Structure 1
Amino acid sequence: MNDRPLGWLGIVRLGLVQTALGSIVVLTTSTLNRIMMVELALPAVLPAALVAWHYAVQLSRPRWGHGSDGGARRTPWIVGGMGVLALGGVLAADATALMSASPVPGILLAILAFSLIGAGVGASGTSLLALLATRVTPTRRPAAAAITWIMMVMGIAATASIAGGMLDPFSMQRLAMISGVVSLGAFLLTLAAVAGVEKTPEVASEPSEPKVDFAVALKETLADGQARRFTVFVLISMIAYSAQDLILEPFAGLVFGMTPGQSTQMSGMQHGGVLLGMILVGAAGGFVGGRGQGWMRGWTLAGCGGSALALAALAVAARVGPGWPIAPTVFALGFFNGVFAVAAIGSMMALAGQGKGRREGIRMGVWGAAQAVGFGAGGFFGAVAVDIGRRLFAQDASAFGLVFAIEASLFIVSAVIAARIGAPAASSQTQPIGARHVQA
């Protein structure tokens, strides 16, 4: 298909979809996690298992991507997925409120809600990435990657900060109301963002490529050495990246005595750091130039190393307690996570467009599935390790500190892997090497 390339306005419009996606996900995977652990005094393994389940559902990403590859347009998949995600976000908040009175029905409703969240993120996120890879010219891909993920982080940071302020004084009714408003707003924003974006003469007049069976397309993708190596790299690096996702807000509440609103605002500060890191790398590479293989590898290593140092500082913070400058430490972690992320996104964008035939969707789906497995495994490990540590040490601080130290070590391992791996793909226009997103 020879679609008309997207201009900067079109790229920004699709970035609004990422903004909408991030605004729902931050409440379901961060704020609800903290409320289950602290306000409801439930074991960390419960929210961790729910979030891990939503990542497990995202193993369907290759199928969603293949479906959008075979259609004339990808936007229906984006809109449909966002609708499912919005419904899941509302039900997740309702399920959390129900757990306070009826734990078993609340947990059952939460399983349904997080199933919808996983399916919605998979369908909308994969199809959006495939559309960007298809419609963005190679010279604009690094900048497009930075723009769309910066906008996602803006949605996460803004929602965390605003919703955090509105959650205090906390009540379950207030939580449900905020979740409903955010979910509806995100869906309406998505409708406005994608309206008409694929209505071009080229799309209407080009004949569709003959459909290829899903199993054949998946086999061809995994047979590609570059795609296979990148899949393994994404899996390993995402485990290192996500181990603190589910425990940072509970850490702030249990060790530093923060309220739900304060810890949610701290999460917003972390995502603000991610935003700054993305802007820095996006400006230095996608907008200014210097997108060579070694240059991108350097940013990847800087992101891994800086994240490891920030996590080591959090391990120390757990021992020191409230006197530690927790806010700057969390901001630094977010900053280096953002640096790490843009290298991954640029790599993914470049590699997706190099597949045989119209395979952007399924390639994005395979990498998205690897990312989901890594995120799910990392988040689940972090939460379970905290539960085990609290039993072994009988101290919250020691349990959290151990997990942060392990995660720092995993980032160092990821840096070693990144230093030894060659660029997954190279072209005359972009030669990136890879690692995240996010949530996407």
Structure 2
Amino acid sequence: MTLSWFQIFRLGLVQMALGAIVVLTTSTLNRLMVVELSLPAILPGLLVGLHYGIQLTRPHWGFYSDTGGHRTRWIIGGMVALAIGAFLAACGVLAFETSFAVGLTVSLIAYTLIGLGVGASGTSLLALLATTTAPHRRAAAATITWLMMILGIAATAGIVGQFIDPYTPQLLLRIVAIVVTTATLVTCLAVWRIERNLIAIREPDPTPFMEGLREVWGERKARNFTIFVFLSMTAYFMQELILEPYAGLVFGFTPGESTSLSGAQNGGVFIGMLAVGIMATGLKIGSLRNWVVAGCLGSAGSLALITFLGPMGAGAPITYAVMLLGFFNGMFAVAAIGSMMALAAQGKERREGTRMGLWGAAQAIAAGFGGLIGAGMVDILRTSMTDTQAFGSVFIAEAALFIAAAAMAAKIMDRKMPKATLVPGE
């Protein structure tokens, strides 16, 4: 048997839980460090970069994803590690108030657990989807789970933003504890007995890992797409650690308001993904290549708008500009996912997992690198510029990367790449 649509949606709940926890570490806790504690933005950048760095082992997980089964235990175990790490990260933020050394130590342990948890749970989930989903449903399954993750991020950011004001350390710990506990319970219920009667075990591939990886890297399409993923995702994540501090320092947003801003952005991402799914599949408008290019260019324009709103200060419609950025980010991301699923099956057989692992590693490197570069540039520029100018300069640099990614996508992606791969269909 293979996964039914209901079971695919159940596994999507795991992605939703992952997003709900991770958004706390990349938005709320990050903003508290930079604004309330006046710590340099590079610090949360390094911590988030740590958890992405640990995910460089994704090609190994992808290479072995075609052999074995019983992945439920790894999904649950990874979620538990992620939950503990997120709660420790909140404790680390509070520890910084009394001791920088203690806060840093706790945070390093916390973000290490977060990286291990996301890697173990997320990769095991994708492996389960890849080996138990009917071929004609795989692209739709990947997109459904991604959309549910974005929904989890947006919903959590919005709800936490409403309840965290007026901010107190005790309230922060209570909210984080509720979120991580709920996410863990949802994961356990979502994967309970789901592997029973599923065809999840395949014969092991005797090819050594490095040989298999070299074979994939030798494929021109796979190599070019890896470079594109790194470039575009660096642009995608450059604003991740600085957008909420920008809202707090330049527009006077409270912790709750800036957390809600993150929710608005991810709400825009969800709408953008859904819109492309409907137009590209239901209405047969445009190719995946064209949607990727349009999403990248629209993201660049939105970043320029966010920059130009800076001098207006409090009262500027920054929330709408951030939602617009999220919309174009979602447009680009879902089209790139569809392209990735189509390309994964091209080239040497039985290397789908390795290709996905390679692109996953490129994304992880770009996410950590992009966030770190964005935060580091802001810290350096704030020594010689106003906050508005410093943040704006980084946003413009990010826009330039999106334009470069659009140009590369237009050059390397197939103009005739299949359209109908984004939403459920037989």
Please give the range of the TM-score, normalised by the shorter of the 2 chains: over 0.9
Matched, 1:186 2:183: yes
CA contact (8 A) 2:237 2:370 kept: yes
The corresponding residue for 2:284 is: 290
The corresponding residue for 1:173 is: 170
Question: Which segments of 5 or more consecutive residues in structure 1 lack a partner in the other structure?
Answer: 432-440
Q: How do 1:28-47 residues align onto structure 2 when only pairs under 5 Å count?
A: 28-47=25-44
The corresponding residue for 2:56 is: 59
- Paired letter, 1:419: A
C-alpha separation in 2, matches of 1:31 and 1:95: 13
The corresponding residue for 1:218 is: 213
- Paired letter, 1:65: G
1:353 is displaced (CA, Å) by 4.0
C-alpha separation in 1, matches of 2:346 and 2:389: 47
Q: CA RMSD in A?
A: 2.2
C-alpha separation in 1, matches of 2:89 and 2:21: 10
1:427 is displaced (CA, Å) by 7.3
Q: 1:152 to 1:429 in 2, by over 3 A?
A: closer
CA contact (8 A) 1:134 1:360 kept: no
C-alpha separation in 2, matches of 1:416 and 1:269: 28
C-alpha separation in 2, matches of 1:192 and 1:66: 28
C-alpha separation in 1, matches of 2:117 and 2:152: 17
Q: How do 1:103-118 residues align onto structure 2 when only pairs under 5 Å count?
A: 103-118=100-115
The corresponding residue for 2:360 is: 368
Residues 240-277 of structure 1, C-alpha deviations (whole Å, 9 max, x = no match): 11111100000010001111001001110111111100
Q: TM-score, normalised by structure 2?
A: 0.93
1:430 is displaced (CA, Å) by 5.6
The corresponding residue for 2:414 is: 423
- Paired letter, 1:337: N
C-alpha separation in 2, matches of 1:222 and 1:332: 36
C-alpha separation in 2, matches of 1:400 and 1:373: 23
Matched, 1:235 2:235: no
C-alpha separation in 2, matches of 1:411 and 1:116: 31
CA contact (8 A) 1:142 1:282 kept: no
C-alpha separation in 2, matches of 1:74 and 1:399: 46
Matched, 1:281 2:273: no
C-alpha separation in 2, matches of 1:424 and 1:72: 37
Q: Match of 1:392, SS?
A: coil
- Identity over the aligned pairs, expressed in percent? 54
Q: 1:162 to 1:198 in 2, by over 3 A?
A: same
Q: Match of 1:69, SS?
A: coil
C-alpha separation in 2, matches of 1:210 and 1:231: 23
C-alpha separation in 2, matches of 1:245 and 1:428: 30
Q: How do 1:36-435 residues align onto structure 2 when only pairs under 5 Å count?
A: 36-200=33-197, 202-203=199-200, 208-286=203-281, 288=282, 290=284, 295-354=287-346, 356-393=348-385, 395-423=386-414
1:80 is displaced (CA, Å) by 2.3
Aligned residue pairs total 422
CA contact (8 A) 2:92 2:104 kept: yes
1:356 is displaced (CA, Å) by 4.2
C-alpha separation in 2, matches of 1:254 and 1:282: 36
* Deviates most, 215-224 or 338-347: 215-224
Q: 1:138 to 1:427 in 2, by over 3 A?
A: farther
CA contact (8 A) 1:21 1:152 kept: yes
1:189 is displaced (CA, Å) by 1.1
* Deviates most, 152-161 or 114-123: 114-123
C-alpha separation in 2, matches of 1:44 and 1:264: 17
Residues 210-236 of structure 1, C-alpha deviations (whole Å, 9 max, x = no match): 544322332233233322221111011
1:355 is displaced (CA, Å) by 6.0
CA contact (8 A) 1:130 1:360 kept: no
C-alpha separation in 2, matches of 1:182 and 1:200: 32
C-alpha separation in 2, matches of 1:220 and 1:127: 23
Question: Which segments of 5 or more consecutive residues in structure 2 lack a partner in the other structure?
Answer: none
CA contact (8 A) 1:19 1:153 kept: yes
Q: 1:38 to 1:429 in 2, by over 3 A?
A: closer
Residues 95-128 of structure 1, C-alpha deviations (whole Å, 9 max, x = no match): 1111111111110111111111112112222222
CA contact (8 A) 1:235 1:370 kept: yes
C-alpha separation in 2, matches of 1:166 and 1:190: 24
Residues 42-74 of structure 1, C-alpha deviations (whole Å, 9 max, x = no match): 011111111111111111112233344332333
1:365 is displaced (CA, Å) by 1.8
* Deviates most, 253-262 or 312-321: 312-321
Q: TM-score, normalised by structure 1?
A: 0.90
1:425 is displaced (CA, Å) by 9.9
Out of 10, 13, 16, which is 1:16 matched to? 13
Q: Match of 1:413, SS?
A: helix
- Paired letter, 1:366: L
Q: 1:76 to 1:424 in 2, by over 3 A?
A: farther
Q: 1:212 to 1:85 in 2, by over 3 A?
A: farther
Q: 1:414 to 1:349 in 2, by over 3 A?
A: same
The corresponding residue for 1:438 is: none
